[in-house]
Amino acid sequence: MDVTSLTRDLVSIPSHEAEAAAGDYVEDWLREHTDADVTRDDAGAGEGRGGNVIARKGSGDTSLALVGHHDVVPPDDSQVTDDGGYVVAEREVDGERRLSGRGSADMKGAVAAAMLAFRDAGPAHELVFASFVGEELGGIGARYAIERGFAPDYAVVGEGSTGYSAPGVTDVAVAHKGRRGSTITAEGRAAHASEPDAGANAIYRMTDAVDRVRDLEFPETEVLGHRVSGSVVVTEIEGGSAWNVVPERCEATVDERTVPGERAPLEGVETVEGVSWDVDQDLPPMACDDADFADAVLAATDAAHDPGTSPGHVVKPHATDAGWLADAGTTCVVCGPAQPGEAHTADESVSVPVLERCHEIYRGVAESWGE
Ranges of CATH 3.40.630.10 domains, the chain: 3-177+285-368
Contact 321/83 with Cβ under 8 angstroms? Answer: no
Contact 99/109 with Cβ under 8 angstroms? Answer: yes
Task: State residue 371's pLDDT score.
Answer: 66
Cα–Cα distance, 119 to 294 (Å, whole number): 23
Select from 241, 271, 269 the least CA-distant residue to 256. Answer: 269
Task: State residue 60's pLDDT score.
Answer: 86
Collect the ranges in the chain with pLDDT lower than 50. Answer: none
Return the number of other C-beta atoms located less than 10 Å from residue 95's C-beta.
Answer: 5
> Could you name the CATH architecture of 3-177+285-368?
3-Layer(aba) Sandwich (3.40)
Q: What is the DSSP string of 90-141?
A: EEEETTEEEEESTTIIIIIHHHHHHHHHHHH---SSEEEEEEES-GGGTSHH
CATH of 178-283, one of 3.30.530.20, 3.30.70.360, 3.20.20.80, 3.40.190.10: 3.30.70.360
Task: State residue 95's pLDDT score.
Answer: 85
Task: State residue 46's pLDDT score.
Answer: 86
Task: State residue 308's pLDDT score.
Answer: 86
341-344-350 Cα angle (round to 5) = 60
Cα–Cα distance, 36 to 51 (Å, whole number): 18
Say how far residue 139 (Cα) sits from the centre of its chain.
Answer: 8
Ranges of CATH 3.30.70.360 domains, the chain: 178-283
